[in-house]
Chains A and B, each alone.
Chain A
Amino acid sequence: MSVARRSLLLFAGLFVLFVVVGWALGAANISLLLVQSFAYALVALGLNIQWGYGGLFNFGIMGMLMLGGAAVTFISYPVNAQFWGSEGPLMLGKALMALLAGFLLIWGARRADRLGIKGKWKSFVTVLAWIVAYIVYRSQIDPAAAYIESAGGGWVGGLGLHPVLGWLFGGVLAAGVAYVVGKICLGLRTDYLAIATIGISEIIRALLKNMDWLTRGTLTVSPIPWPTPLPQDLQAQGVSIADSFIYARLGFLALVLIILAIAFFLVQRAYGGPWGRMMRAIRDNHIAAASMGKDVTRRQLEIFVLGSVLMGIGGAILVSFQQIYDPGSYQPINHTFLIWVMVIVGGAGNNWGAVFGALLIYITWMISDPVAQAVMNAISGWSTDIGWGGIPEIQSRASQMRVFVLGVVITIALRYAPRGLIPEVVRREA
């Protein structure tokens, strides 16, 4: 069976699955699932670029999603007048200057060889510059943070701009961080890169969770505005409450689909052309690619940044949709491994596969809970009947079932379909 026919069948099956689940859970729930799963599809597309095209092992997806969320919160949340009226902006400005000065210092130290400082002395000067920069920055940011949190309005608030701008900023922010991370880590071997990216995402989580002045940390921020009419707006126009949720979510969904379609089109075009050919060559044999004049390090950085942009945008969309930014709610399982399972099951290196995997795995992930609950209720009823007693705390147990299901799914996929359900097509026609 050709891959095209096979993918068509799989997508048809997926459609049926969504219809069945939608029929079982109701239109409001399935519209919610659809928005989230398509936002995840965007993130999966990002990972597919990094892993499928570039062979780069990114275990830090969670960090990129969090950055996107922080970005959209900052851009779209209403302005905090109390902060802007206080000493806060000035103090933050100073901290920013300190940060810039620190970067300049480090930048200068790295060029110390021009002053004749070489070898070990240069390393020493560089380390010293890092330490000084860190101390200078901490000396400014610590009091600023303390002031804002106590007297300066609690946190900086947002800018009150359009959420779509926030999504774009999410992409930009993720790109910036990915650039720095990539510069440091992309030279590493696969398994080292995996650990390094885990570390980065954990640091991003620690920062965003504890920088209360910037993100309100565990206090969470809500409600974050929507780019499309909210259910409440529709209700104000006389739409019934039940319908308002469906229509509002469908409106949001339309916007997400447009963004996904644009991203998909751009990525697909790039991968089908000379750019993709070069990337496949690098993935295939990076030594030979370097000998053929391809700047492997720069290209891998490019791919890492491009993938991270999509992750940042996806993370921003998810936060907008949920209307709440809670840095404490991010978990590696839900926000890194879930995406990996999507891409592996869907088919690394194939954009259709990544999108398919995202939709399939997200719905599997979400219905594991109710299905497990139903199964457990049945078993519990049966065991009670025969006198063994029921299963205690079914509800909380069932909600944990999805982690197990996810593990089983990826294990089966690796064993029986290691290249994914819609695998990468090796083009015979050049």
Chain B
Amino acid sequence: MRGRGGVSFDAVIDVQNVSKRFGGLRAVNNCSLRVERGSITGLIGPNGAGKSTLFNLVAGNIVPDEGRIFFDGQDVTGLKPHQLFHRGMLRTFQIAHEFSNMTALENLMMVPSNQTGESLIKTWLAPGAVKDAERHVRQKALDVIDFLKLGHVKYELAGNLSGGQKKLLELGRTMMVDAKVVLLDEVAAGVNRTLLQDLAANIERMNQELGYTFFVIEHDMDLIGRLCDPVIVMAQGEKIAEGPMEEIRANPEIIEAYFGAPVEAA
């Protein structure tokens, strides 16, 4: 199993000279970066640096004005989120996007694609096959729920879960499919310390045991320091540095650009 470390892997996400403007504002400006396969790559930077816009670009929620994005060696510029999902890229959201009127278990069970029962024809004409498929999906969802230690809330509506449980559930969704790459957008925001340890442990386990690549936006520097290598620093829509967290912390230019600017409490 390939884990973190200094070994050079091939790039699973390759962003080349991407720009995105909103009105007059250049949110992302001629930005290029790579995420290596099997890594947990961190993305940090002051507010307004363009991190979330970059995530939205990579995940297909918005289309870049210029530049190209490659995923797994293929040009995916302009593809829609559901198309990227089918190629193995998943994202979570800064504010948890759970399905609030569905149970935690259902939140997981809806994830796998091309379920037999998602076709009306098969639902009506082949109920047996649908039932079989459903049993597998359910078992997998139960496994994931156990893995995340959420068993006690599996029949609870996702809307009633705590902020941290919602984030775990979002992480759980990524385990329902054979994803290659997971984009985590401020996964720690609003999560209490104890649950945060669970979360971090789960991310590490998924990376090491299941071979997931993570691309993480985070404000919690301790979490970044614990999980991520390398760390990419963005400021004013551009990548300004990349390296291990210790190096980043020691780089005066970055401290100028990042820590010199007012940092919001994470």
Residues on A facing B (Cβ under 8 Å) = 266, 269-270, 273-275, 277-278, 280-281, 284-285, 287-296, 302, 306, 426-430
Contact = CB atoms under 8 A, between A and B. Distances in A.
14 contacts: A273-B123, A275-B119, A275-B120, A284-B100, A288-B97, A288-B98, A291-B85, A294-B82, A294-B110, A295-B82, A427-B106, A428-B103, A428-B157, A430-B141
B109 interface: yes
A280 B99 contact: yes
Given A291-B59, A430-B109, A285 B99 contact: yes
Contacts of A274: 109-110, 115-118, 123, 130, 133-134, 137
A291 B116 contact: no
Interface stretch (B86-94, B187-195, B224-232, B238-246): B86-94
A292 B93 CA distance: 12
Contact of B110 (A269, A277, A287, A428): A277
B27 interface: no
Contacts of B118: 274-275, 278
Q: Which of A266, A274, A278 has the most CB of B within 10 A?
A: A274
A141 to B, nearest CB: 36
Given A274-B116, A278-B118, A427-B103, A266 B124 contact: yes
A281 B130 CA distance: 19
A273 B116 CA distance: 10
B115 to A, nearest CB: 5
Contacts of A287: 61, 93, 97
Interface string B72-97: 00000000111001100011010001
B58 to A, nearest CB: 12
A430 B98 contact: no
A288 B119 contact: no
A426 B118 CA distance: 20
B113 interface: yes
A280 B117 contact: no
Contacts of B107: 281
A183 B61 CA distance: 21
7 nearest A-B residue pairs (beta carbon) = A274-B117, A293-B85, A288-B97, A430-B105, A284-B99, A273-B117, A293-B113
Given A277-B109, A288-B98, 5 more contacts: A270-B120, A274-B123, A290-B82, A291-B90, A292-B82
Contact of B82 (A277, A293, A430): A293
Given A287-B97, A430-B154, A280 B102 contact: yes
B173 interface: yes
Interface of A is mostly: helix
B117 A275 contact: yes
A428 B93 CA distance: 25
Q: Which of A269, A281, A296 has the most CB of B within 10 A?
A: A281
B93 A288 contact: yes
Nearest to B106: A430
Contacts of B148: none
A291 B87 CA distance: 12
A270 B119 CA distance: 9
B101 A284 contact: yes
B138 A430 contact: yes
Nearest to A426: B101
A270 B123 contact: yes
Nearest to A291: B81
A242 B154 CA distance: 61
A274 B124 CA distance: 12
Q: Which of A288, A295, A302, A429 has the most CB of B within 10 A?
A: A288
A292 B103 contact: no
B259 interface: no
A275 B81 contact: no
A57 to B, nearest CB: 19
Contacts of A429: 103, 155
B11 interface: no
A288 B123 contact: no
B11 to A, nearest CB: 22
Given A274-B130, A281-B110, A430 B103 contact: yes
A269 B127 contact: yes
A277 B118 CA distance: 9
B47 to A, nearest CB: 22
A285 B117 contact: no
A63 B35 CA distance: 53
B111 interface: yes
A290 B137 CA distance: 19
